Amino acid sequence: MRHREPPVTRPTSRDVAAAAGVSQATVSLVLGDKWRGRVSPRTADLVRETAGALGYRPNLAARNLRLGSTRTALLVVPALTNEFFARVYTGAARVAAEHGFGVVLYPSPDGTGPARDPFPSARAALDGVIASSMAADALDDLGREGLPLVMLDSDPASDTAAAHVNLAMADGMRQAVTHLLDHGHRRFLHLASAVDSWTFHIRATALPALLGPSTALRTVRSPLTVDGARAAMEAVLGAPGPLPTAVICDDDILAAGACKAARRLGLRVPDDLSVTGFDDLALATALDPELTTVRLPAERVGEQGMSALLAVLDGTPWSAPDIPVELVVRDSTGPAPA
């Protein structure tokens, strides 16, 4: 007769409570991350250590049904083909995992407009939404049904979001302009994104205010693609009249197109034309020369966006200063040509 192994018994919250010498209610508070103000930090550490030692894993499905919560957030972005938003997701997912949450992505098929609603009822499947201002149109198509909303890179005065997470975009533009002015540049071209978004409006508004009366500024809009930027730049550089000596691009992708156009027309970067970008994507160091650009900490944006949503869900007021950005100086900028 074959010997049959006894079934493996998984530890329960009662086992954790008994081993830690606390009540089951305390275990639920600690493992549900609701202990602050109710349980001492020392007791919370003890419960977590005991659960880990016993190999206890909470039954999330049962708990979610009991609490009326799915512990799931929706992240709305223009597209994952853009490295910046992939990094935003990485940061949001990291913080979410630390709190027992999951993050579902909602990208737009064409990179700018709304995608089809992935849920018959968002309220039934989600606890809250985190959305980039570049994908704000998708929120109308989603039908949030009153879900808590955290907006990324959006105007705090123009929407009804419960919280906002913004980057110090105007300061990034200040750093780029100061760098170019210090190198003697006075004729500027702003290669601006044609995407109608608050984050690009901030850059466009900040730039002219940073330039004095002895400077000249021209703005040209371009699709957010390398080919679109190349075509826009070729039209500018091929026109009669004095050429710009510095090009400030809203994005590293646009900067790549600007560099490509300069090379096609026989201009040297940075000897004839200095070029700056925004984002500090991997593309920035793939270019030759490597791109001077404003580094935007995308993972930090995702982390702070998820932290803001968790605070809103917990009923805690959220406020935080704009996330700092940093100009990374590389070889695409230099002294203005004589």
Domains and CATH numbers, the chain: 13-58 (1.10.260.40), 67-166+298-313 (3.40.50.2300), 169-296 (3.40.50.2300)
How many CB atoms neighbour CB 92 within 10 A? 28
Angle of helix 13-20 relative to helix 41-54, nearest 10 degrees, comes to 120
Whole-prediction pTM: 0.77
Per-residue confidence band for 156, with pLDDT thresholds at 50, 70 and 90: confident
Please determine, for residue 14, whether its predicted confidence score (pLDDT) is greater than 90: no
Hey, which bits of 16-58 come out as E strands?
A: none
Sign of CA dihedral 72, 307, 328, 236: positive
Q: Tokens for 291?
A: 């791109």
Mean of the pLDDT values across residues 229-253?
96
Which amino acid is present at 194?
A
Of residues 108 and 43, the one with the higher pLDDT is: 43
Of 54-63, 74-83, 200-209, which gets the smallest average pLDDT? 54-63
Chain mean pLDDT for the chain: 86
Per-residue confidence band for 333, with pLDDT thresholds at 50, 70 and 90: very high
DSSP 3-state of 297: coil
Per-residue confidence band for 66, with pLDDT thresholds at 50, 70 and 90: very low
Of residues 178 and 8, the one with the higher pLDDT is: 178
Please determine, for residue 160, whether its predicted confidence score (pLDDT) is greater than 90: no
Distance between CA 61 and CA 68 in Å, rounded?
10
Supply the pLDDT for residue 143: 54
Per-residue confidence band for 26, with pLDDT thresholds at 50, 70 and 90: confident
Q: What percent of the chain has pLDDT over 70?
A: 85
On the CB side of 184, CA atoms within 13 Å amount to 9
Instruction: Give the best-scoring range by mean pLDDT among 31-35, 118-122, 222-226.
Output: 222-226
Mean of the pLDDT values across residues 298-326?
93
Please determine, for residue 211, whether its predicted confidence score (pLDDT) is greater than 50: yes
Distance between CA 192 and CA 203 in Å, rounded?
9
Q: pLDDT tens digit string along 263-307?
A: 999 999 999 999 999 999 999 999 999 999 999 999 999 999 999
User: How many degrees, rounded to 5, is the angle at CA 284 between CA 150 and CA 266?
Assistant: 135
Q: pLDDT tens digit string along 163-209?
A: 999 999 999 999 999 999 999 999 999 999 999 889 999 999 999 99
How many CB atoms neighbour CB 308 within 10 A? 26
